[in-house]
């Protein structure tokens, strides 16, 4: 493990996932015994006979139940993937007030199973840390770039999944306002718009009843957060973790809340699994076409409902998480933010931001900070020194 790059460094972010190791018919010990037996045998023909007999007898002795042999050798697991949290809702009603969600899964070929796929366009490793040229806003009536958005991320009631779950809503709001004041002091020219970011579908290590590897946050809980954020004139982002569903199904499932003017969307490709993959064992991915679909869906929604443009956040901490990223483009009527995710010390986070955002700026730029894992935690001044300057800052 000593020669593996440090997680979330530029080398780790751009390194292809390890290729699966070809399985051996026998263990190292059995192969060594065969070699010792065969070494003194005279002649190729005699040796071949002995080898055939040994192979036949060994196969009968070593074979387990059909389909069970050597499963451990065939599993290629990315050790840097985040473990999927286990959420227990207790007794729940079979139906939900939310729209029904399809369990269609993404297709995957046999040779792609058990490893994170490699994007078709490798990243450019020549870092250009200069400020990205400013472009005229495609959506002039959107929140960005007039405001800087600051969010607190997590799952209600679960202190292990982010700051939002460590306190009740009122206390989270007080802490969020205090954090926002630091950014307004560091950059008085740009007001801060604060937001809660609530995980709306939580990745699980087990398939669940619908095979999606997800548990949906109860609609009553989403209603509580939607009402609280509206009453306090702040934004609400709903974060979907996709699992074995499609991006389309995930968005349709939270449509009742996205119809509200202050509710926006975040997509977490880390847990978007293909067939044969399990959240927490693999780093997931979505394609540029998924992002384009989400953009178009949000534009159509706001046009239909006559509400302000939406902000779409897409999280990323490894280059495989957005396949065909070079094809992702801004779209009029919706504002796209790529968030440089992942934890680490300031030097690592700065390097990761340069790779995720600086090398390929698309429209707006975000960065996520971790109160518990980032040691030391970057200050507001340090965050605003990043180039390009973040338009979105998330705290988990």
CATH number, domain of 258, equals 3.20.20
For the ranges 53-67, 90-104, 148-162, 278-292, the lowest mean pLDDT is seen at 90-104
12 in any annotated domain: no
**pLDDT for the residue numbered 138:** 86
pLDDT at residue 393 above 90? Answer: yes
Under 8 Å between Cβ of 314 and 284: no
State phi, psi for 29 to the nearest 5 degrees.
-65, -45
Under 8 Å between Cβ of 203 and 241: yes
* Cα dist from 235 to 217, 311, 329, whole Å: 18, 10, 24
Which comes out higher in pLDDT, residue 39 or 230? 230
For the ranges 138-142, 181-185, 390-394, the lowest mean pLDDT is seen at 138-142
> Is 268 in the same domain as 390?
yes
Under 8 Å between Cβ of 348 and 9: yes
Rounded-to-integer distance, Cα 362 and Cα 100, Å: 33
CA 149 to chain centre: 20
DSSP state of 20: P
> Is 187 in the same domain as 48?
no
Q: What is the mean pLDDT of residues 321-350?
A: 96
> Is 66 in the same domain as 114?
no
**pLDDT for the residue numbered 137:** 76
**pLDDT tens digit sequence for 133-169:** 455 678 989 999 999 999 999 999 999 999 999 999 9
> Is 64 in the same domain as 176?
no
pLDDT at residue 68 above 50? Answer: no
pLDDT-derived band of residue 3, with 50, 70 and 90 as boundaries? Answer: low
How many structural domains does the chain have?
2
- Tell which residue, 343, 346, 383, 347, has the closest CA to residue 365: 383
> Is 175 in the same domain as 36?
no
Under 8 Å between Cβ of 370 and 376: no
- Tell which residue, 264, 329, 269, 249, has the closest CA to residue 301: 264
Rounded-to-integer distance, Cα 56 and Cα 37, Å: 15
pLDDT at residue 338 above 90? Answer: yes
**pLDDT tens digit sequence for 262-299:** 999 999 999 999 998 999 899 999 999 999 999 999 99
Residue with tokens 């290590």: 205
CA angle, 67 then 20 then 7, to 5°? 130
356 in any annotated domain: yes
**pLDDT for the residue numbered 359:** 87
**pLDDT for the residue numbered 133:** 42
**pLDDT tens digit sequence for 354-388:** 999 988 899 999 999 999 999 999 999 999 999 99
pLDDT at residue 199 above 90? Answer: yes
86 in any annotated domain: no
244 in any annotated domain: yes
91 in any annotated domain: no
Under 8 Å between Cβ of 15 and 5: yes
Residue 69 belongs to what domain range?
Answer: 28-73
pLDDT-derived band of residue 17, with 50, 70 and 90 as boundaries? Answer: low
241 in any annotated domain: yes
Residues 6+ away with beta carbon under 8 Å from 305: 259
> Is 268 in the same domain as 194?
yes
**pLDDT tens digit sequence for 69-78:** 332 332 333 4
């Amino acid at each position: 493990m000593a020669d593996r790059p440090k997680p979330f460094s530029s080398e780790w972010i751009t390194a292809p996932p390890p290729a699966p190791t070809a399985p051996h018919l026998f263990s190292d010990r059995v192969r060594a015994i065969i070699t010792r037996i065969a070494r003194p045998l005279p002649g190729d023909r005699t040796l071949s006979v002995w080898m055939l007999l040994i192979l036949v007898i060994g196969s009968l002795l070593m074979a387990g139940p059909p389909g069970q042999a050597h499963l451990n050798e065939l599993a290629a697991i990315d050790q840097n993937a985040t473990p999927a949290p286990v959420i227990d809702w207790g007794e729940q009603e079979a139906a939900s007030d939310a729209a029904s969600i399809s369990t269609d899964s993404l297709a995957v070929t046999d040779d792609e199973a058990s490893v994170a796929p490699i994007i078709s366009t490798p990243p450019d490793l020549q870092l250009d840390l200069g400020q990205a040229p400013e472009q005229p806003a495609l959506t002039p009536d959107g929140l960005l770039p007039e405001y800087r958005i600051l969010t607190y991320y997590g799952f209600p009631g679960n202190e292990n999944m982010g700051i939002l779950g460590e306190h009740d809503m009122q206390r989270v709001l007080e802490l969020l306002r205090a954090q926002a004041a630091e950014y307004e002091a560091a950059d008085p020219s740009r007001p801060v718009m604060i937001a809660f970011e609530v995980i709306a579908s939580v990745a699980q290590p087990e398939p669940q009843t619908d095979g999606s590897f997800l548990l949906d946050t109860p609609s009553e809980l989403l209603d509580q957060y939607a009402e609280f954020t509206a009453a306090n004139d702040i934004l609400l982002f709903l974060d979907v973790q996709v699992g074995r569903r499609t991006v389309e199904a995930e968005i349709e499932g939270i449509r009742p809340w996205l119809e509200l003017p202050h509710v926006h969307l975040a997509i977490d490709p880390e847990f978007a699994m293909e067939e044969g993959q399990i959240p927490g064992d693999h780093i997931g991915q979505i394609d540029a076409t998924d992002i384009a679909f989400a953009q178009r869906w949000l534009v159509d929604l706001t046009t239909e409902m006559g509400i302000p443009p939406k902000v779409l956040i897409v999280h990323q901490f490894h280059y495989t998480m957005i396949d065909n990223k070079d094809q992702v483009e801004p779209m009029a009527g919706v504002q796209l933010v790529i968030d440089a995710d992942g934890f680490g010390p300031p030097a690592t986070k700065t390097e990761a931001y340069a790779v995720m955002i600086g090398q390929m700026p698309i429209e707006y730029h975000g960065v996520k900070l971790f109160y518990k894992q980032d040691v030391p935690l970057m200050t507001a001044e340090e965050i605003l020194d990043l180039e390009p300057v973040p338009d979105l800052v998330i705290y988990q």
